[in-house]
A and B are shown apart, each in its own frame.
Chain A
Amino acid sequence: MNLLEAMRTALDGIAANKLRSALTTLGVVIGVAAVIALVAVAQGATARMTEQIEAMGSNLITVRSRGVSAQLTLADAEGLAARVPALAAVAPEHSARGTVKWGTSTHTTTIEGGGSHNVTVRNRSVAWGRDITDNDVQFLRQVAVVGHQLYIDLFLGRDPVGEILTVYGQQFTVIGVLAEKGSTMGTSPDDVVIIPVTTAQRLAGTNVLSTIYAQVSDGRLATAAKAQIEAIFASKYGRSDQVYVQSQDEMLEAITTATRTASMMLGAIAGISLVVGGIGIMNIMLVSVSERTREIGLRKAVGARRRDILAQFLIEALTLSFAGGLIGVGIGAGLARIVANTGGWNAVVSASSVAVSFGFAAAVGMIFGIYPAVRASRLDPIRALRYE
């Protein structure tokens, strides 16, 4: 008997019990759909976070104070620029939430005190007007660069350059507008006002910085530069745990590791449901074999060899698991899309997750189909014909 005939016979067997076959397939459908959807969501999340980290600026090292006694100052920032040759730019930042006023309108935003590099280091750019200069910082000028959000919400799309903006109760002249970056995961980099860091510190009555951003001239030097920065602060405070230094690569790596672990865990849980689905297939195939004992006996009597019967039942099991796999891929991709649409979150259905879960479903059908098929093929035709 050729393969085509075996397939026809197997499909007849499935069609004989449509509801039962559908329910049997459901286990595999759920398993495969779960793998596809969960992995897609996890990978989408990874892609999103990676994108965000890269949007922060390239080859970036972030320095934050961690200990209570450690406080970052402008002197620290200047020290880093002078002592770490791998750094292309150092950007001190003092940021706080506050309300700004233009005419009678007010807007609550992030007031960021920065230097001449803060815009570029953080991967931003000035759309028109000019950036903060070293001069502005040195003379504590009251000038401001506004983000795209303020340009829209506060100035209602009118050119704000030259306008007077009230920040911390003081009058600032708007000198530039930042190009739009688009919001990422809740926080908007467009909702900001940048003023000279020295001005910000004076108005806030402090000499502390919240963060120092340092940009490495070459990504390959990031690890060495980070070690050097850590060493500088360790020697300053006598211990290494006062300042938190993190390079972008590390952040990416941490996120990749975390999401890979999550993906694998989700995949493993979904894999378990696939195995359960496989057991369901085996169960139904065993029932099917014993129900059709007489049929098997007759087929053997008229000339079916063991391998013919084996093929018939194995193809039946494989068809169930393949169908389950196909439907599962469809449902999984659909679920991923729904999550993507409702969560504003990219879900990536990768070819590899489709291949892996489909292959796993096929393997499950093969493994759990073989025992019932072997049992059927070994039936004694005499007994099978007499079976009631």
Chain B
Amino acid sequence: MISLGGVSKVYEGAYEVHALRDVHLEIEAGEYVAVMGPSGSGKSTLMNIIGCLDRPTSGSYVLDGREVAGLSDDQLAQVRNQVIGFVFQTFNLLARQTALRNVELPMVYRGASPAERRRRALEVLEQVGLADRVHHRPTQLSGGQQQRVAVARALVGQPAFVLADEPTGNLDSRSGQEVMTIFGRLNRAGITILLVTHDERIAAHAKRVIRLMDGRIVSDERNPEPLDPETELQRLVSQPAAGAVASAGAGGGSA
């Protein structure tokens, strides 16, 4: 479904920065992939290109059977709207709008009728367990709840895959684990998930882990025994202190 062929990205400036060098990557529908790497590894650049927020300098990117490397800004906007669901580290909810209206947003840009997008938004808010919070504004919600609104927003348009950039980075370990539980459930339901993180514990939930270094993929391994998010959540609930220590390193941003 995602097929990168020899993708490179060079940033021109005072000196050239090779953010990605000849990256080949195939991701099938239904996969649960974590992309890892230290700051400066090209992780964010890869995410931007896969998320159709940026174009590769060279190489091809076939998404859902369609070459997207040469599309215009507005065409990319349409692809993002229909194929990709974004979850960001900083949630990026509109502060003055209710959860419902925030979740409806992608459907607004798709041109869906008010009745249709309301129906869809309520459906996905229910899926993330926020059916009783639809008329709350972000400021009236906890961080974990806000991120679940953001996940609902990512799902509302029935995207081909969900692209999550450090989704637990701004959350305490328990809220983070709750979000991971939702991702686990979504993947079991057949939704492709692409997780960008530098937290080993978060990455351990994925079935496949890709590691980047200096713009190259240095390892691409199957994870035979991914962590079960529900068990992890149980463990955190019973041992709150241990959980806090375990995810102490999860506060940083992506590079």
Contacts and interface: CB of A to CB of B under 8 A. Distances in A.
B153 interface: yes
A94 interface: no
Contacts, number: 56
A12 interface: yes
Contacts of B109: 1, 299, 302-305, 308
A299 B106 CA distance: 8
Contacts of B53: 301, 381-382
B96 A303 contact: no
Interface stretch (B79-87, B174-182, B195-203): B79-87
Main secondary structure of the interface of A (DSSP, over half): helix
Interface in A1-16: 1-2, 5, 12, 16
Interface string B67-78: 000000110011
A300 interface: yes
A301 B78 CA distance: 10
Contacts of A5: 108
Contacts of A301: 51, 53, 80, 86, 92
Given A2-B111, A294-B92, A385-B88, A303 B81 contact: yes
Contact of B94 (A295, A300, A382, A385): A295
B54 interface: yes
Contacts of A300: 77
A2 B112 CA distance: 10
Contacts of B74: 305-307
A267 B77 CA distance: 46
Given A305-B74, A382-B48, A299 B105 contact: yes
A298 interface: yes
A302 B97 contact: no
B222 interface: no
Interface string B89-115: 000101011000000011011110000
A278 B51 CA distance: 39
A301 B111 CA distance: 16
B106 A303 contact: yes
A16 B96 contact: yes
Interface in B108-125: 108-111
Closest 4 interchain pairs by CB?
A303-B81, A303-B109, A302-B106, A305-B74
20 contacts: A1-B109, A1-B111, A12-B96, A295-B94, A298-B92, A298-B105, A299-B109, A301-B51, A301-B86, A302-B80, A303-B82, A303-B157, A304-B109, A305-B73, A305-B77, A306-B74, A306-B77, A308-B109, A382-B53, A385-B88
A1 to B, nearest CB: 5
Interface string A357-388: 00000000000000000000000011001000
B53 to A, nearest CB: 5
B54 A304 contact: no
B92 A385 contact: yes
Interface centre among A2, A302, A304, A307 (most CB of B within 10 A): A302
A141 B181 CA distance: 119
A382 B92 contact: no
Contacts of B73: 305-306
Given A301-B86, A302-B105, A382-B53, 17 more contacts: A1-B111, A16-B96, A294-B92, A295-B94, A298-B94, A298-B105, A299-B105, A302-B80, A303-B78, A303-B81, A303-B106, A305-B74, A305-B77, A306-B74, A382-B48, A385-B88, A385-B92
A287 B22 CA distance: 41
